[in-house]
Structure 1
Amino acid sequence: MNKLYRIPIRKFSVHQCDWTRCWPKPDYGPVEVQRSVLLNGIKVAASKPLGAQIGCCTIMYQSGSRYECDDSLGATHFIRAASSASSCAYSGFHKMRFLPQHGASITCTSNRQSIAYTLLCQPSIYSEMKCYLLDTVLRCYFKQWEIDDLKPLIRDDLHRITPEMRVIDLAQKACWGGSLANSMFCENSRIDGMTGEVLDNFANFNYKTDHCTVASVGVPFEETLKMAEAIEPRREKPGPRVLVPSRPRRGFEFYDLGPDSETWICVVVPGCGSSDIKNLIMHAIVASACGTENIQDGLHCLDRTPQQPLGLMSGTDIYTEYKAFNLSYQDTGVFGIVARTRACTAWKVAVAASEFLTNVGDLNFKQIDVGKKRLKVRLALNDDNCVTLTEGLALQLANGVQIDSAKNSIAMVDQMSNDEISCVAQGLSKKYKDMAYAVVGDITKVPHNKELICGF
């Protein structure tokens, strides 16, 4: 023990009162974001984080489920599941063994608007791992026997969908008439008929350079630019893709879980697109002002403190929970309220959620200020995740906006006046005639949507 006291201790060569001045001031998010646009239409962005020892690179295409035609419905679900399958250069077995041995991974995420492939690895081995990302994205070859092996996994995915995710997916189907009504999941009736040829045709038609964005965090800009050039070396830009806009249809969708089951209810109205970043932030503030999550969750599922004012709607019913949400795509989106309750109170909760969404324009300035603070906290919490940063940068490039970090987005939130936000909330209230409904659970206790809106 006496030897431990003889170990010298290194100190700073400054006075003790100046120790805090030697440390750099903390900051959120990436710095030194560089951008470029290739002649073939690919948009590139690379950001350098504050000393992170891990890097990410994302290749994103604006080719989500809304771009599926009648012959390819469910293709994006299969492509998402087939990201770990064999490609032209590497087999699925080789990728599943080699990438984890080097501490790397490739993930594929998709929604109605886009599909993104993300490589996560140490920057020192990026030059070796990027070949696997390029092979997965560009040289994907959907072998029929691998597609047949994926079909049981696709069926399992349909059983693993949470009720909340299912009701929000159905609510968007009820809200839109057109391509936005396509689900992110493949219907059970279409699984057996899916072939590798259908997936190849979908990828060849939608994976175009003018719909592609490449973003990275922790990877040099030159390396990110080489990645974009390897996707398509030609300089010709393809022609514009025709997209038929979706229109509100004021529908009603349901999924029956059986009698007396826990019931989820979703009420939505048309929202805004992600291309108008100012309008998008104001919609997000309105959702945060209504209440998007629980303030605190305890050990028991019923031990929670919901956010106000939506949290006050439950009253003494501890089995009912309300949340607001806002989802945006390139040209439009949905704004709504999702509620979880028991089957015996489903009708009452459905009416209450409809009335709240109809009167959301009555939010006062104090509630809007609270919504700003809630949104700023949520923006800052996810700003240290390099995967979220790279996918966010790629999405910003696709929509032609520039935010870079939570510091900039928080500044944009502070610039929004309460009067403008109140006008957006009032505009949402006026869309009650386009209100759509979805129910997952015991549907016998919730009548058709026409009966819900008869008094509005």
Structure 2
Amino acid sequence: MNTIFKISRRMLSISHRNCNVCCTKPDYGPLEVQRCVLLNGTGVVGAKVFGGQIAVCTVMFQAGSRYEVDDYLGATHFLRAASTASSCAFSGFTKMRYLAQHGASLICTSDRQSIAYTLRCPVTIFSQMKCFLQDTVLRCFFRQWEIDDLKPMIKDDLHRIHPLQRVIDLAQKACWAGPLSNSMFCEEARIQGMTGKLLNCYANWNYKSDHCSIASVGVPFEETVQLAESIEPCRVRPPQRPGVCSQPRGGFEYHDLGPGCDTWICVVVPGCGTNDITELMRHSIVAHACGTDNMQEGSHSMDVIPEYPLGVLSAGDLYTTFRAFNISYYETGVFGIVAKTRSCTAWDVAKAAAQFLSNVGDLDFSQIEVGKKRLKVSLAINDEDCIKLTEGLALQFINNVQIDSAKTAMKIVDSIPNQEIKDTAKKLGSKMDDLAVAVVGDLGSVPHDKELLCR
């Protein structure tokens, strides 16, 4: 094979004349980030950290549940579970035993947009561990008997989904008409019909080089490029994959747990996509200004102090919590409020969540400033997790965004005027005609979506 300079175009995030300056430890974030694009469209990102002893590499494909159609509905749920199955070079048992013996791990995560395979191991053994990542991504051919063995586990997954995760998944299903309404989980009625042949066809159609990115932390950039070449040696871009846009539908979805159960309520409106990083930051600031977490947590589950102003809505009820969230995909997303409460207070809580969302434009500048600070803390914490860092770098490349570290993102946050953020909040509050609602728990204790909007 020819040298990588003949098959790739490098884009360095720093200039060569400044290399001597950058060799010292930075005040925050990676020491250096390098990027290149192979001729087949695969993006490669490598982050060099100062003194890091962990090597992490993520292979990400834009092949989430939004790309499932017809017989492939539920395929990504099986792909997550089948990441531990046998492949061409190694059986599932050999793969997991060898990784465990060397303190390494192989993780598969997915959402509606993407599916990512991440290898984490000590730096010194990455060269001998990367073959397991290659084998899992490229050479899993999904034997039918292994898929049949996975089906009881997939069915159990549907019963083990945390209600918070379920209600947010249902809220997105209620919000969209189109591919984004596809759940991250396989419906129970479709489990028995899933075959290894279907999974192979889905992977072959969606695991293409032009919507693949490979990111690493603590791995030499040249070795990351070689890994990318081994995953897809072709030097020609494949035909462009057709896409279908999703449209808001303002629906209502539910999962009834029976009378008297704890109830989760989620109200959402259409948000923004990741293709506009400034708009994404505005939505994230609004979410953090509303409150996304607890300011204090004690030794007991009730020893919590929620962030304000959403924390005020609980009115001192220890069993009621509210939080705002923003989820973005490439071209769109959802912004909403999720609440957990008891059955006896679910009606009032649902009303309060919908009313807060309709009036989110009333946030003042002091609350927006607090939201900026909360977001910057979240960005810094995210950079401390090597897996989230690599997945973030891979996702950035797919979306043509370059944010080398949390420090760069913090500068973007500080550069956004408060008035623009307030205008974004007002715009979100004006989308109540597209309000979507999801409920998990005691369905009879919660008002319908039309009743939520009654004045």
TM bracket, shorter-chain basis: over 0.9
Give 2:35's aligned residue.
35
Matches of 1:153 and 1:437, distance apart in 2: 29
Partner Cα separation in structure 1 for residue 27 and residue 381 of structure 2: 13
Deviation at 1:25, TM superposition (A): 6.4
**Structure 2 counterparts to residues 205-216 of structure 1, below 5 A:** 205-216=205-216
1:119 corresponding residue in structure 2: 119
Q: What is the alpha-carbon distance in structure 2 between the residues aligned to residue 194 and residue 421 of structure 1?
A: 46
Supply the distance in 2 between the matched residues of 1:43 and 1:316 (Cα, whole angstroms).
50
Whole-angstrom distance in 1 between the partners of 2:135 and 2:81: 16
The aligned residue for residue 405 of structure 1 is: 405
Q: What secondary structure does 2:430 align onto? A: helix
Q: What's 2:424 paired with?
A: 424
1:72 and 2:76 equivalent? Answer: no
8 Å contact 1:28–1:384 — kept in the other structure?
no
SS in 2 for 1:382: helix
Q: Distance in 2 between matches of 1:31 and 1:186?
A: 41
SS at match of 1:391: helix
Contact 2:25 2:50 in 1 (8 A): no
Is residue 261–residue 342 contact of structure 1 (8 Å, CA) maintained in 2?
yes
The corresponding residue for 2:222 is 222
AA of the residue aligned to 1:284: S
Q: What is the CA deviation profile of residues 309-347 of structure 1, one whole-angstrom value per residue up to 9, with x for unaligned ones?
A: 000011132221100000000110000000001111111
CA distance in 1, matches of 2:31, 2:68: 37
Structure-1 separation of matches of 2:260 and 2:29: 47
Distance in 2 between residues matched to 1:108 and 1:343, nearest whole Å: 36
Distance verdict in 2 for CA 1:251–1:365, change over 3 Å: same
State the shift of 1:382 in Å. 2.3
The Cα shift of 1:255 comes to 0.3
- CA deviations 1:214-254 (Å, max 9, x no partner) are 11000001000001111111111012111110000000000
What are the residue-to-residue correspondences of 1:144-293 with 2, within 5 Å?
Answer: 144-293=144-293
What residue number does 1:314 align with? Answer: 314
| Contact 2:272/2:334 (8 A) holds in 1 | yes
Q: Distance in 1 between matches of 2:446 and 2:283?
A: 28
Partner of 2:250, secondary structure, is coil
Cα pair 1:28 1:383 within 8 Å, conserved:
no
Structure 1 position 385 matched with structure 2 position 385: yes
Partner of 1:186, secondary structure, is coil
Amino acid at match of 1:261: C
Distance of 1:419 and 1:368 partners within structure 2: 9
What letter is aligned with 2:175? C
Q: Is the partner of 1:230 in helix, strand or coil?
A: helix
Alignment of 1:340-419 (within 5 A): 340-419=340-419
Cα distance per residue 1:102-136 (max 9 Å; x no partner): 12111100000000000111222111111111110
Aligned Cα RMSD in Å? Answer: 1.0
Larger Rg: 1
1:96 aligns with 2:93: no
Q: How many pairs does the alignment contain?
A: 432
The separation in 2 between residues aligned to 1:279 and 1:90, in whole angstroms, is 45
Structure 1 gaps, min length 5: 1-23
For residue 20 of structure 1, what is the aligned residue in structure 2? none
Contact 2:25 2:31 in 1 (8 A): no
C-alpha distance in structure 2 between counterparts of 1:315 and 1:136, whole Å: 50
Identity %: 65
Equivalent pair of 2:350/2:447 in contact (CA under 8 Å): no
- CA distance, structure 1, for counterparts of residue 303 and residue 411 of structure 2: 35
The code of the aligned residue for 2:236 comes to E
Q: CA contact under 8 A between 1:43 and 1:214: conserved in structure 2?
A: yes
Cα distance in 2 between the residues matched to 1:297 and 1:258: 30
Q: For structure 2, which runs of at least 5 residues remain unmatched after alignment?
A: 1-23
Distance of 2:30 and 2:316 partners within structure 1: 45
AA of the residue aligned to 1:125: I
Aligned residue for 1:14? Answer: none
Aligned position for 1:451: 451
Offset from partner CA, 1:25-64 (integer Å, 9 cap, x none): 6632212100000110000010101111111111000000
TM-score by length of 2: 0.94
**Counterpart contact for 1:112–1:182, Cα < 8 Å:** yes
1:434 counterpart letter in structure 2: D
- Residue deviations 1:2-34 (CA, integer Å, cap 9, x gap): xxxxxxxxxxxxxxxxxxxxxx76632212100
Equivalent residue, structure 2, for 1:21 = none
Alpha-carbon distance, 1:365 to partner: 0.3
1:318 and 1:104 mapped to 2: Cα distance? 41
CA deviation vs aligned residue, 1:346-405 (integer Å, no higher than 9, x gap): 111111100100010110000000000111111111212211111110000010001111
Q: Which amino acid aligns with 1:38?
A: L
SS at match of 2:323: strand
State the alpha-carbon separation in 1 of the partners of residues 329 and 123 from structure 2: 32
Distance in 1 separating the partners of 2:26 and 2:34: 21
Contact 1:28 1:380 in 2 (8 A): no
User: Are the aligned partners of 1:167 and 1:439 in contact in 2 as well (CA < 8 Å)?
Assistant: yes
Paired AA for residue 441 in structure 2: G
